[in-house]
A and B are shown apart, each in its own frame.
Chain A
């Protein structure tokens, strides 16, 4: 029996090697441009390494010094790194809630065979549009819309709603809302497309049999669509969260790199940008990146676990 098997195996042509050959370019570029830099980042995070003017300081080995500096509370007991991370996350959450609700609704509507909406192609293109604009250009646009001498303020003043122009960018809640809203506008189209793909992957016969059994659309949504969509939904949620933690261009442009007011729109990547700016502080920025990597990993695991658990139940 064993002999026969061996014989058979030898006779057949193995295509396996082609698969490996086809995927090698990815692995090579992954190792060169992602894996090695990742290890270098970890390595750099243990060194004091920056520029003072045009003079290079270090690299000097400092062990966990950079991490300790990053996590040392200031005299009021705040750890800036965590504070900025909190800023990133809260701006992400405020944008992500409407983003996922709207995307889910649209995805269900677009895929519903009962409704069979007309003009879907156009609608999908339009909702995806904002994602095609560069974030910084979009930020500039929104900034000038809401600036003290911008059209929104002029409109509010001339229509008599406000007495004098309101400085949107001087207060925490308007700034964060504007940033979250921009994230929502830019990303809900993308999420809709991903979720639609997920829904279309669900066996149509399930929907049909549910309809035959007299289930209404709400039942169908909660008992069929949502559970079967969970893997895709958790994927979309985790990638969106990673995007949220890495939020940079919108708050950077909106606040002109200052993270105002009172650092409440400073994201953790803006902090990284400050370290990397004039002094090219590879030590501190390395430590920050490693911390972020670990935190993203933990949060991702947490989101995945909680969603996957629900799905199993």
Chain B
């Protein structure tokens, strides 16, 4: 018994010494850095690109923790890990984590992320300014980079456009949907021919929410419904009543089914990752094999209003034991021309490297086969310049999801409009006690 105890004590001492040693030594470049590179993410998208195109330094093992985004599960898991960062063993420390536009502010404005310029990410000349703005804290310290740029547009079905508008030419389709009034006219025409405009009541939500003139929560923590959000609610109500759209959510099977071969939806809204990553029934390998795909039947235009959606930022976690690799990964995804070229060419991404994007935008040979050979990079390259990162709060995900969840019940006729709004306010107050909501 005594022997066992003494061995245990000795082990404890050695371990604690080892732990001290790691902290006191100033991290020499590469030598002495951790053997495990730990990344937190909410889906497999970045993991796929990382594994394909980034060469991991020898001797380092990359560990992924992937938690789904919905309902703030990802943030919960990440927060817990970041708060335990100090006491975590070197191999368990988060080195880098992914964040979305909806909640990036929460992390950049916290001590849990660190200045990447100090780590060696210094060349931002090729990135789009809004991606750097979004990754900076209130005093302008840059805490990470985005590996993609997400200007979005309206993805329309060529065959349906031809039937409804008599043309499938992007310039003419754009002219037909240049503003919301015209867009509504097209919706009415499409409905006459037996089509639906969008396959989800929330399909165009991001277009409105991205063009708000005030944040969700003001300086005094009062919730405010912006005019653009109100306009979305009115339009969604009108569209559902007239049968121009469905009451299923953006990610529901009923909605994505409408992108398949016999789908009836005139358009979808989204950035490059949307049709590349989220329109499985339209473009997926399974669908293609089964002959139910709709590859080539799509076109891309700016749509009624410019907007961006999502984007994946790589943030450097404070306390990382692999600072060199963190910087290297970030540099690779914004400045490595070969890597960025691969992302565009093989993955249909729109990268955060202007030079590479513009090269493809100007290439007449380049086209996306999903879009019938249209050069989508050219459309996005024009749109990306106009993106502003504004009116964001740390509550955006909860507000955006919460409003859609509550409002769709009204659209389905389950509750009155007032009840829907009350449910939204109550759910928000339960989740975020700091927000002042109207009395529900």
Contact = CB atoms under 8 A, between A and B. Distances in A.
- State whether these chains interact: yes
Interface of A: 50-55, 57, 74-76, 80, 147-149, 167, 170-171, 256-258, 260-263, 271, 274-275, 277-279, 281, 284
A76 B112 CA distance: 42
B419 interface: yes
Interface in B387-432: 394, 398, 405, 409, 412, 414-415, 419, 422-423, 426-427, 430-432
A80 B423 CA distance: 11
Contact of A262 (B72, B394, B415): B415
A261 B414 CA distance: 7
B79 interface: yes
B72 A278 contact: yes
B11 interface: no
A278 B397 CA distance: 11
A53 B394 contact: yes
CB-CB nearest 8 A-B residue pairs = A274-B430, A52-B434, A261-B414, A54-B110, A53-B394, A53-B106, A278-B72, A262-B415
B370 to A, nearest CB: 24
A149 B422 CA distance: 30
Contact of A284 (B405, B423, B433): B433
B414 A277 contact: no
Given A74-B440, A258-B405, A262-B423, 19 more contacts: A50-B433, A50-B434, A51-B79, A52-B432, A54-B112, A55-B110, A74-B439, A148-B252, A167-B412, A170-B412, A261-B412, A262-B414, A262-B415, A263-B423, A274-B427, A277-B71, A278-B75, A278-B432, A279-B431
A74 B418 CA distance: 13
A57 B434 contact: yes
A257 B71 contact: yes
From A271, A279, A281, name the one whose CB has the most chain B CB atoms within 10 angstroms: A279
A274 B72 CA distance: 11
Interface in B206-254: 248, 252-254
Contacts of B79: 51, 54
A51 B395 CA distance: 12
Contacts of B431: 274, 277-279
Nearest to A165: B254
A262 B411 CA distance: 12
Interface string B19-48: 000000000000000000000000000000
B76 interface: yes
9 contacts: A51-B79, A80-B426, A167-B412, A170-B412, A262-B415, A275-B430, A277-B72, A277-B431, A278-B75
B257 interface: yes
A70 B83 CA distance: 29
B107 interface: yes
Contact of A149 (B257, B394, B427, B440): B257
A262 B107 CA distance: 33
Contacts of B83: 54
A171 B414 contact: yes
B394 to A, nearest CB: 4
> Looking at chain A's contact residues, is the secondary structure mostly helix, strand, loop, or mixed?
loop
Nearest to B72: A278
Nearest to A56: B83
Contacts of B394: 52-53
Contacts of B412: 167, 170, 261
B250 to A, nearest CB: 13
Nearest to A281: B433
> Looking at chain B's contact residues, is the secondary structure mostly helix, strand, loop, or mixed?
helix
Contacts of A74: 422, 426, 439-440
- What is the interface residue range for chain B against chain A? 35 or more
Contacts of A50: 433-434
Contacts of B107: 54
B134 to A, nearest CB: 16
A258 B426 CA distance: 12
Contact of A75 (B82, B409, B415, B440): B440
A75 B107 CA distance: 36
Contacts of A51: 79
A260 B409 contact: yes
Interface in B55-92: 70-72, 75-76, 79, 82-83
Contact of B415 (A148, A261, A275, A279): A261
A31 to B, nearest CB: 25
Contacts of A278: 72, 75-76, 398, 431-432
A263 B409 CA distance: 10
B248 A148 contact: yes
A76 B75 CA distance: 34
A55 B433 CA distance: 13
B110 A53 contact: yes
Contacts of A274: 427, 430-431
A256 B252 CA distance: 12
A279 B79 CA distance: 10
Contacts of A148: 248, 252-254
Contacts of A149: 253-254, 257
Contacts of A279: 431-434
Nearest to A54: B110
A149 B415 CA distance: 23
Nearest to A74: B440
A148 B83 CA distance: 41
Nearest to B103: A53
Nearest to B73: A277
A202 to B, nearest CB: 49
Contacts of B110: 53-55
Nearest to B423: A263
A170 B414 contact: yes
Contacts of B112: 54
From A147, A274, A275, name the one whose CB has the most chain B CB atoms within 10 angstroms: A274
A144 B75 CA distance: 27
Contact of B419 (A167, A260, A262, A284): A262
Contacts of A284: 433
B438 to A, nearest CB: 10
Nearest to A278: B72
From A55, A147, A257, A263, name the one whose CB has the most chain B CB atoms within 10 angstroms: A263
B259 to A, nearest CB: 14
A235 to B, nearest CB: 35
A201 to B, nearest CB: 45
A287 to B, nearest CB: 12
Contacts of A80: 426
Nearest to A263: B423
A45 to B, nearest CB: 14
Contacts of B427: 274
Contacts of A260: 405, 409, 414
A81 to B, nearest CB: 11
B74 to A, nearest CB: 10
Contacts of B414: 170-171, 260-262
